[in-house]
Structure 1
Amino acid sequence: MSEEKITTEEAKPVLVNGEEVSEGLIQQELQMLRERYSQEMSYTEMDEKAAKIESDARENAVERVLLMQKAREEIEELRPEEVEARFLALQEQHGGSDEFNKRFELTGDDVKKIKDDIADGVRLEKYFEKICAGVERPVEADSRAYYAAHEENFRIPESVHAAHIVQHPSPELPLERVNADLLNALERLKKGEDFEALAKEFSHCDDGQHDLGWFGRGQMVPSFEEVAFSTPAGACSDIFQTEFGYHILKVYEYKPAETRPYDEVRYDIESLLYDERKNEAIGAVADALRAEAKIENLVIVEE
């Protein structure tokens, strides 16, 4: 199938067992997918896969509706206070009851719809708990096996804590003056003067923040990074140029790359594996529901 972008405006509403999948739910799923994929691929790759990501969001929304429909069957009764407490919390997030109603100009029907949606959310949570009740927690052997197979995920890259003096040549500040100022600063540094004091005197940092804190490779431009990672801890660099100007850099401290020990990440791994098992259980239920469902107008974009 073509990768041409398909928008919800061009398509008929998706129906799941006769219930319309709302545009709001699709957009919510789309936002979550974009946030996840932004950590795994470049913006260019995301643009290239935009149609597929939108298609996946629609499919996820369909599964969500299927699970919600089943949750309404399985979890019929809710305690009113469960819904009311969440509604009150929602109001507080928007400045309280009066501000909430004023901001959104809610009618009685609107409030009922919001509470119905909250009730659906509570039912879905309870249904997920029911599905996952029999999911086994990982044991230490599982966690250690995962750690051994994914050790690269627990690598902490090398990093430096550095500060800099920077000047930007301009028609009002010719390069000759910049060189003279920085040579003066460098000579005074070699004589033991305080770096921070000289940075305040000479640097053109717009925010006045000469200390750059800790940073790893890939966080600065390559020309700056090359100097930062080749300057010994406690030392200052010579004058060097980047696309942002002319710099003198001081490295306060350096940390080599290292792997976080197993004991430090054990509980994170156990939580990850347990969540994966629960998601698999929920996914299996969604697949079974989908096999029996009547789904209309769902356009799927293949890779």
Structure 2
Amino acid sequence: MRQRTATWIFLATLSFVWAVSTPLVLAKEKSSQKESVSKEKSAGDKESKKEATAEAKEGKKEVVASVNGTPIYMADLDTEMNRYEKQMSMTGQAPDAAKLAEMRKKVLDSLISRELLKQQSQKLGIKVSDEEVAAQVDALKKRFPSEAEFTSTLKKMNLTEDKLKQQFSQDMAIKKMIDEQVANKVTITPEETKAFYDGNPDLFKAPEMVRASHILIKVDPKASPEDKAKAKEKIVAIQERIKKGEDFAAVAKEVSECPSSANGGDLDFFQRGQMVGPFEDAAFKLKPGEYSDVVETQFGFHLIKVTDKKEAGVTPYDDIKAKIEQHLKQDKVNKELTAYVDQLKSQAKVEIFLK
């Protein structure tokens, strides 16, 4: 029911500071040749392939930057660019050549910054245990429907589980260092949070919201008139049960064909624009405790019960101050982290060879 924007959990979870940098895994190409090819041509083909393979390997070994003597390869940059382009394509964006060139510079800069932070974490002797890494990987796995889908996603990202663990270990060490050297030294005062609240009133306007439960009997959009009529009869019969006094939540658990049935049909609070039109229109017309008549949407037939309502207004300061503090701290940490990386750069030998 709720209209959600799809996100790729794996991409969002894979990194702590910058996108994880991994060596590019090159797939081996399969080729078949007819036995009738002459030995001379076959030998020539083999020699050409050797040269092409050597050129390809040499291209991937091309050094695009160096951080205190540690090279950053074209393969690293290509891998990160591929990830960014995938993320952009998922949002329907198609960057032009100029934007891609600008993005490429930013990605390289992030790889350099990440290498500096990694080297600094090693210099400070920051360690991450195998148990900590395993816990992170297990937590990530649980966000996938199955082990097979987790493995499939790794494959799409040109990763193995061992490589993922290595990257988590490096990134967790970086995060520990950032916490120790930057984040833990940042504080936000109550005066700062109150000043932000008072200075940005538009940010804290709360829209009208309702909390509703529903019972759904699904109808396929391509269903025949007969099947649609049967579904309508079913929801009407359920409506009669509610009218006779049966508990809405109990009936929802028993008969609703929406995943929310597990919670008695509860959909929690939502504002306008989060639900499909007919459902939303019906819900916002009801008062807490009231039931709707049968409502038809593209999903099927619904019975709706509004359980709570919040009028439009301004979110009270006490209700939002913790989130303001978190926002202000993250903003300040980001600025301090930028300064910290700039300081590391000033003390390091960084060379860029990318044209």
**TM-score category, normalised to shorter length:** 0.5 to 0.7
Change (3 A) 1:237 1:145: same
Between the aligned residues of both structures, percent identity stands at 23
Change (3 A) 1:87 1:276: same
CA drift of 1:241 comes to 1.5
CA contact (8 A) 2:204 2:314 kept: yes
Amino acid aligned to 1:137: T
Counterpart in 1 of 2:295?
240
Alignment of 1:163 with 2:214, yes or no, is: yes
Specify which structure has the bigger relative contact order, considering alpha-carbon pairs within 8 angstroms and separated by 6 or more residues: 1
Counterpart in 1 of 2:266?
212
CA drift of 1:184 comes to 4.2
Counterpart in 1 of 2:352?
296
Q: Which of 215, 219, 224 is matched with 2:279 structurally?
A: 224
CA contact (8 A) 1:182 1:202 kept: no
Counterpart in 2 of 1:278?
333
CA contact (8 A) 1:67 1:124 kept: no
CA drift of 1:250 comes to 2.0
* Aligned pairs (5 A) from 1:21-170: 21=72, 43-45=91-93, 48=95, 51=100, 56-69=106-119, 71=120, 76=123, 78=125, 83=127, 86-90=129-133, 122=173, 125-126=176-177, 129-130=180-181, 137-157=187-207, 158-168=209-219, 170=223
CA contact (8 A) 1:233 1:252 kept: yes
Change (3 A) 1:235 1:54: farther
CA drift of 1:56 comes to 3.5
CA drift of 1:161 comes to 2.4
SS of structure 2 residue aligned to 1:14: strand
Q: How far apart, in 2, do the equivalents of 1:198 and 1:125 lie?
A: 50
CA drift of 1:163 comes to 1.6
Across the two proteins, how many residue pairs are aligned to each other? Answer: 264
CA drift of 1:61 comes to 1.8
Q: How far apart, in 2, do the equivalents of 1:165 and 1:287 lie?
A: 56
CA drift of 1:242 comes to 0.8
Counterpart in 1 of 2:21?
none
Q: Which of 289, 298, 318 is matched with 1:263 structurally?
A: 318
TM-score of the aligned structures, taking structure 2 as reference length:
0.55
* Structure 1: runs of 5 or more not aligned: 1-7, 96-103
CA contact (8 A) 2:182 2:337 kept: yes
Deviations 1:27-65 (Å, cap 9, x if unpaired)? 68997x89xx99xxx8224x5589466654332222122
Change (3 A) 1:263 1:127: closer
SS of structure 1 residue aligned to 2:296: strand
Q: How far apart, in 2, do the equivalents of 1:58 and 1:14 lie?
A: 8
Q: How far apart, in 1, do the equivalents of 2:180 and 2:250 lie?
A: 59
* Structure 2: runs of 5 or more not aligned: 1-23, 27-58, 139-159
Q: How far apart, in 1, do the equivalents of 2:171 and 2:227 lie?
A: 67
Deviations 1:139-159 (Å, cap 9, x if unpaired)? 332211212234454455413
CA contact (8 A) 2:65 2:351 kept: yes
TM-score of the aligned structures, taking structure 1 as reference length:
0.62
SS of structure 1 residue aligned to 2:211: strand
Q: How far apart, in 2, do the equivalents of 1:120 and 1:198 lie?
A: 49
Q: How far apart, in 1, do the equivalents of 2:178 and 2:296 lie?
A: 60
CA contact (8 A) 1:29 1:60 kept: no
Deviations 1:98-125 (Å, cap 9, x if unpaired)? xxxxxx898xxx9xx969x958964784
Change (3 A) 1:128 1:172: closer
